[in-house]
Amino acid sequence: MKSNRSVTALALASTIVLSSFSPAMAQGKGQTTLRIYNGSNNTVTAYMQIVSPDQQSPNPGYLTSVQQVPFKPPVNLCYDGPVKPVGTIPTNQVDQGHFDLAPGKLTTITLPVGNAMSGNISFGAAPVECPGGSSETFAVVVPPPPSTPNGVNFARFTLDNNTPSFGPGSQETLDINCAYGVNSSIQIDMYSAAGTSPWSTDKGGPTNVTQILNQPLGTQNNSKNVNKVGVFPPGCEACTSNNDDSGCWGYWPPSSKSICLVHRPASGSGGNVMVTFKGIYPTNSKAP
């Protein structure tokens, strides 16, 4: 039987879609600005994927292509087109582009009211699953391709789904997904504005999260990305369970608490989210 893939981010973001899709004023303190920053000493290629959630009941407020993203200052976007979904519902449509970001450079994305976006950002390589597709059991472990032997991690986001057309229970969400491996150091900082809702995890976790950061891949016996707020560990797309189809890695320990996804009510949107690239890990980077 096919095991359940973690779709919490998209489920929270778009569980209820109303019949009226007409634009409306944002419920929060305005749009949440996404900033992408190169905090390293080297130019890096950033890969951005825009995910179109809920294809059976699509909400036209969501961006459907990376070509719709209003980068400021503009980036030299190379359009890759539709790609295979990784780390999201398999039936979702995913559109990808990439661009170079020089050291110390920043690009900012602020959407018009009524628009929202769901997607992810990786650095140095695009998100990749194991060759051969999903691994429903761990009877056969297929490693990542040679170009990314430790896999690829990425920052995921759903932002600005803050008008009535997105549904009263809509949530903005953030996380760093290491379920498919780790190639880079990514940090996400959340800067609130007056009146915006704080970022939190599920019950039992922190209720005012302002930063999330991943670590190197590590080893099965010493995984540095377990029980880290806002981080899905290697092989564990379901956060607290590794009984899913994300793993290239065999058995890796899951987190003991449901703290991998950071979220807040979309009605409390606003402020800034900064995704910072801090560097590429060596391919032999393991936990000590």
For 234-249, how does the pLDDT look when each residue is reduced to its tens digit (9 = 90+)?
888 889 887 544 445 5
Q: What is the pLDDT of residue 25?
A: 53
Distances (CA, A) of 105 to 43, 69, 78, 210: 9, 18, 18, 22
Instruction: Enter the tokens of residue 188.
Output: 């996400």
The structural domains of the chain, with segments of one domain joined by +, span 8-280
Q: Kindly report, residue by residue over 112-127, the tens digit of the pLDDT.
A: 999 999 999 999 999 8
137: tokens are 């059991």
Task: Please give the C-alpha separations between residue 160 and each of 47, 212, 279, in angstroms, as whole numbers.
Answer: 21, 20, 28
Which residue, chain included where needed, has tokens 């194991």? 130
The string of pLDDT tens digits covering residues 3-21 is: 333 444 444 444 323 223 3
Contact status, residue 53 vs residue 11, Cβ threshold 8 Å: no
Q: Specify the range with the lowest mean pLDDT, choosing from 8-17, 38-47, 79-88.
A: 8-17
- Tell me the whole-structure pTM to 2 decimals: 0.85
Where b means 16+ CB within 10 Å and e means fewer, 183-205 reads: bbbbbbebebeeebbebbbeeeb
Amino acid at 93: Q
pLDDT at 142 over 70: no
